[in-house]
Amino acid sequence: MCGNRHNSLHEWDGPMESPQFLDNTNMDDVHVLARAIDSFNGAALRFERHYRHLERRVKGLQIELGKKNRALTTNLREKEQIESHLHNILESLTVGVVVIDMKGNITTFNRSAENITGLISQEVVGRKFDQILGIKFFQDLQLDFGSLNDIEEHKESDTEIYCAYGAPSHVSLSISPLRTPQREKIGIVLTLQDITQMKRFEEQANRTSRLSAMGEMAAKMAHEIRNPLGSIELFASTLRKDLQDNTESMALAEHISSGVKSINSIISNLLLFIRPEQKANFKCIDIHVPLKDSLFFSKHLIESTKGIDVVTSFAMEPIIVRGDQELLKQTYLNLILNAIQSMPNGGRLTISTREIEDRQGTSKFAEIRFTDTGTGIPRAAMHRIFDPFFTTKGRGTGLGLSIVHNIMKLHEGTIDVNSTEMNGTSCIATLPLWEGENGI
């Protein structure tokens, strides 16, 4: 290694017998080299010790990092499970939940909110509340984001909403500020509960109560009127016999007799309204049989009214109920007659049948729907349409829907009416399906 120095080593052809050939200078270089090698070996040893220590440290950190990663993965998985669980709970609620942030954007819109409003979550989330559920959506409340943002305490109200499809629905609306644990307001929560069915039950209960009271009064009146009516008819018949040669007087007697028959018809309808069960003859029948009979008997009236178009959409299979064919026929005739009278300038009457289930999926019903494009019913009159003697027409007894209600009640069914003035009316009759043997 020191061969560059000219005095470092002497040329020697023979074997070295002793180190005497090295001079002092060369010995110094050897010592320096030895110390350098010792220093290098020491540094290498220290480096190896540091490397092994670092290797152990890295291995320890890797083990620790692995534990942390596994813990983090577990936490993330648990968080995802919790979020999924909470999401499933939110989506399974029968109450519609709508969450709005402080900018007025809809951030949450669960499945029940979709079902109640007829809107789709994907088309709603991220958009402004005022664009989707603005002032015109909630009837009589005039809600917008500004008025919602002013609400600082829980508030409840009942209202109607204009769904994306079908008739307006009754809802119980709850509005609450959304706050953090530190009471900082970060949004607004709206909950919607569909109470349409409950409202219908309340209306049916009130209707039944009113009709029951009116029925008692009408029964007494009917019997009181029928007693002298029989005498009048008897006298009119006697007069017709005695006045056969007097044409003018005979015509008057005929008018009396005709008037008596008209009054008797009204009283018969009145008694049917009061006690339809007197005529009930229950059998297992296909709902289409009395429905087709009703269409046959109303055919002349339909054809004589200009511009009336009747469209039927019946279920392909028989729909079996336990009912009185004649009473059901009278129900359908009343509903067809009402529809025709609501379309004096022509229009379309659509009659459809189908099987439906209740919301719990435990009971099945036959649904018979009559939808016309007529003048509709004024909103102010809707709560009275089942009252006896109430009518929005220029003529008629006003007993038609009252009789329909009682016949449907006798069959353990329902009758509902949805109508908007100048936009037509839908009358929906439902009857429980017969689940035994048909026996037709």
Domain presence at residue 248? yes
Strand ranges (E), 48-95: none
Cβ atoms of residues 330 and 403 within 8 Å? yes
Last residue of a domain, one of 215, 242, 274: 274
80 and 204: one domain?
Answer: no
Structural domain total, the chain: 4
Report which residue type is found at 415: I
Strands 414-419 and 347-357: unpaired
Residue 69 has pLDDT above 80, yes or no: yes
**Quick one: DSSP state of residue 434?**
P
Domain presence at residue 17? no
Averaged pLDDT of the chain:
79
Cβ atoms of residues 20 and 12 within 8 Å? no
296 and 405: one domain?
Answer: yes
Domain presence at residue 1? no
Residue 358 has pLDDT above 60, yes or no: yes
Residue 11 has pLDDT above 60, yes or no: no
Cβ atoms of residues 27 and 19 within 8 Å? no
Domain presence at residue 18? no
Domain presence at residue 16? no
Q: CA nearest 139: which of 155, 105, 163, 109?
A: 163
The least confident of 88-102, 162-176, 206-220, 359-373 is 206-220
311 and 414: one domain?
Answer: yes
428 and 288: one domain?
Answer: yes
125 and 268: one domain?
Answer: no
Domain presence at residue 438? no
The least confident of 3-12, 18-27, 388-397 is 3-12
Cα end-to-end span (Å), the chain: 122
How far apart (Å, rounded) are the C-alpha atoms in residues 335 and 291?
11
Angle at 238 between CA 232 and CA 244, to 5 degrees: 130
Residues with Cβ within 8 Å of 51's Cβ and at least 6 positions away in sequence, in order, are none
Last residue of a domain, one of 246, 274, 302: 274
296 and 270: one domain?
Answer: no
Domain presence at residue 400? yes
pLDDT digits (tens, 9 = 90+) for 296-338: 888 888 888 888 999 999 999 999 999 988 889 888 988 998 8
How far apart (Å, rounded) are the C-alpha atoms in residues 397 and 188?
52
pLDDT at 311: 94
How far apart (Å, rounded) are the C-alpha atoms in residues 321 and 344?
34
75 and 126: one domain?
Answer: no
Domain presence at residue 285? yes
189 and 204: one domain?
Answer: no
pLDDT at 10: 42
Which residues constitute the domain of residue 80? 23-89
Q: What is the CATH number of the domain that holds 288?
A: 3.30.565.10
How far apart (Å, rounded) are the C-alpha atoms in residues 369 and 363?
19
pLDDT at 9: 41
110 and 182: one domain?
Answer: yes
Q: What is the pTM of this model?
A: 0.51
Q: What is the CATH number of the domain that holds 123?
A: 3.30.450.20
Cβ atoms of residues 175 and 189 within 8 Å? yes
How far apart (Å, rounded) are the C-alpha atoms in residues 237 and 142?
66
296 and 425: one domain?
Answer: yes
- Reported as a pLDDT band with limits 50, 70 and 90, residue 351 is very high
294 and 420: one domain?
Answer: yes
Give the three-state DSSP class for 412.
coil
Taking CA atoms, 242 is separated from 208, 245, 346, 347, in Å, by 49, 8, 48, 50
Last residue of a domain, one of 136, 167, 194: 194
232 and 331: one domain?
Answer: no
Residue 371's CB: how many other CB atoms inside 10 A? 18
